[in-house]
Amino acid sequence: MSAPDSENNDGNVLRVSLKQRAGGVFFILISLLMGIMALAWWGQNAVLIALLFFVLTITDFCGGFCILFGKESKWRLAVFIVNIIVLIPLASLFLLVLVGYFTNPCYLDPTVCDDELTDTPMYLQMFGFWGAILSFVTYTSWRLRQPTMPSEIEL
C-alpha cells in the first residue's frame, strides 16, 4: 500500500509504490558506489572510464532521488538510457579484450613467448565482473520503467 507523497497533492507528485521507493534507494546507493569508483579511476589517469562513471553517478543519483520521492517519472527513462550507454562500450571492450587474448600468438603457442599474457586474465575478470554488475543495474532500471500502479497506467 502506498501513501501520497505530500499533503498538498500537487500535480507533479505521484503516488509511489514500495517497489519504486526501494528502486530509488537502490539507485542512490549504486550512485555512491559508482562515484567512489570514478574517483579511483580518475586518480589512475583512466579519464574516459572515470567520465563514464561520473555521468552514471550523477544520473543514477538524481534519478534515484526523483524516483524515491515521486517528483518526475522522466528520470526513469534517463537512468535506463545512461545505463545502456555505459553498458554497451563496456561489453564491447570486454569482447575486444577477449578476442585479443584468444587470438594472441602467445596464447596459441606458449613456447614462443615469455609471460606476456599474465595480466590479461585479470582484465577479463574485471570487465566480466563490471559487465555483470552493470547488466543487473540496467535490468533494474528497465523494470522501474514498467508501470506498477493503476494511476501510472494510461487508460
- The tens digit of pLDDT for each residue in 48-76 reads 777 888 888 888 888 888 877 776 667 77
Do the domain assignments include residue 11? no
Do the domain assignments include residue 83? yes
Do the domain assignments include residue 100? yes
Do the domain assignments include residue 92? yes
pLDDT of the residue at 1? 45
For the full predicted model, state whether its pTM sits above 0.75. no
Q: Mark out the alpha helices in the chain (DSSP H runs).
A: 18-43, 47-69, 74-102, 105-108, 120-145
Do the domain assignments include residue 8? no
CA distance 94 to 92: 5
Do the domain assignments include residue 40? yes
> Are the beta carbons of 64 and 17 closer than 8 angstroms?
no
Domain carrying residue 86: 18-145
Residue 29: closest CA among 73, 63, 80? 63
Do the domain assignments include residue 110? yes
Residue 139: closest CA among 26, 1, 2? 26
Say which amino acid occupies 103.
T
* Residues 15-44: tens digit of each pLDDT: 667 777 887 888 888 888 888 877 877 777
CA distance 98 to 125: 10
Do the domain assignments include residue 75? yes
- pLDDT band at 12; cut points 50, 70, 90: low
Domains in the chain, number = 1
